Amino acid sequence: MKMYLVHLDALPMQDRVKACQKLSQFAWDVYEQVDPELGLVAAKVAWDSADDFESSPCFPAGCRCEKI
């Protein structure tokens, strides 16, 4: 299973929660990364699909991502 870290800081705060909810619909699991001062800043995504994660319909546009 592949793991990705999706940086959500390019999105407004209300869209970050929506992005995590959408990711949860497609991914095996999503682990929200919350900073005490900044709030929701990223999501670790467990991706079990054979489809490319970054071109999937759940990937939040404008966000950067790294495979971990």
Do 26 and 49 contact (CB within 8 A), yes or no? Answer: yes
Question: Considering just the CA atoms, what is the radius of gyration of the chain in Å?
Answer: 11
What residue spans define the domains of the chain? 2-67
At 59 the pLDDT is: 96
- Kindly report, residue by residue over 9-62, the tens digit of the pLDDT: 999 999 999 999 999 999 999 999 999 999 999 999 999 999 999 999 999 999
Average pLDDT over residues 4-11: 96
pTM (2 decimals)? 0.91
At 4 the pLDDT is: 97
State the burial class of residue 43 (Cβ atoms within 10 Å of its Cβ: 0-12, 13-18, 19+): buried
State the burial class of residue 45 (Cβ atoms within 10 Å of its Cβ: 0-12, 13-18, 19+): buried
CATH topology of domain 2-67: Alpha-Beta Plaits (3.30.70)
